[in-house]
Amino acid sequence: MTTVDPGGLGLVELGLQPYREMLSAQQRLVEARRRGELPDLLLTLEHPATYTRGRRSEAGDLGRPREFYERQGIEICDTPRGGRVTYHGPGQLVAYPIVDLSGIGSQPRSGGRIGVARFVAAIERAMARTLGRFGIEAGPIDGLTGIWAGRDGPLPDDATAASTAADVAAGRIAKIGSIGLLISRGISSHGLSLNVCCDLEPFEWITSCGIEQCRVTSVAEELRAAGPAGRPPSVEETGRDLADRLADELRLGPVRRLDPAAAGLDPAGSTTA
């Protein structure tokens, strides 16, 4: 594998990639990052229609027989990331940070390593800032996973699952992004998804992220609800903005776009030997 200058955050844009191939690719990239063969990376891509089940998934999260999902052309994959079941499909930005947490921040008590909670909070802020650039007020809700958008203005900074329960149940607050990470010996993988212009119906066929009565929305849907507006951003544009925001939140330095081959990835998305 080619050794890459370790500075900054390497952005690798991969287009549409099968989920299973990217699952194995991430495992190998994590090991390459641990050996110092790669810089910190952000992989941005889309997946074909796929449900992924995290470590906390329960049998009832997929509320219909497997045959139903097969008829819809949706693959079901188990994954080692955190969280429960979610949907991926074309028009949704998926971003996988392959990042060494030991090189982030200044925490003398932990040898300079950023904690997982702070890492997740940085991802949440980056997602919210990207959505804000496109005119959508969104943010986290304490006690719920992911990023949420409110139809009645920005969420309060102290929003909690309890304080927003009625609005979530009524659909006035909807989920627009998900986070599900895996941290292996200090290196992150898996990551996040932002609904840009994807089909939202498949979310209705599951208990998304284990949250009952959860309306899911997208950038395109929120812009339509706000009134006449221009087209939503492309997935590629959204991914590039997110990379800039994430690098800023984590103080990783400049974002450098990398050819997939420079990160040990071939055009099909699997890692090279």
What are the catalytic residues? Answer: 209
Distance CA 73, CA 80 (A): 23
- Which tokens belong to 16? 């549409």
Asked if residues 104 and 119 have their Cβ atoms less than 8 Å apart, the reply is: yes
Cβ(36)–Cβ(65) below 8 Å: no
Please state the three-class secondary structure of 195-255 as a single string: ECCCCCHHHHHECHHHCCCCCECCHHHHHHHCCCCCCCCCHHHHHHHHHHHHHHHHCCCCE
Q: What torsion, rounded to 10 degrees, do the Cα atoms 242, 248, 253, 256 define?
A: 10
Q: What is the Cα–Cα distance from 113 to 107, expressed in whole angstroms?
A: 6
88-105 per-residue burial string, b: 16 or more CB within 10 A, e: under 16: bbebbbbbbbbbbbebbb
User: What are the respective helix, strand and coil percentages of the chain, to the nearest 5?
Assistant: 35, 25, 40
The torsion angle over the Cα atoms of residues 202, 206, 212 and 215, rounded to 10 degrees, is 0
- Beta pairing class for 75-78 and 50-53: parallel
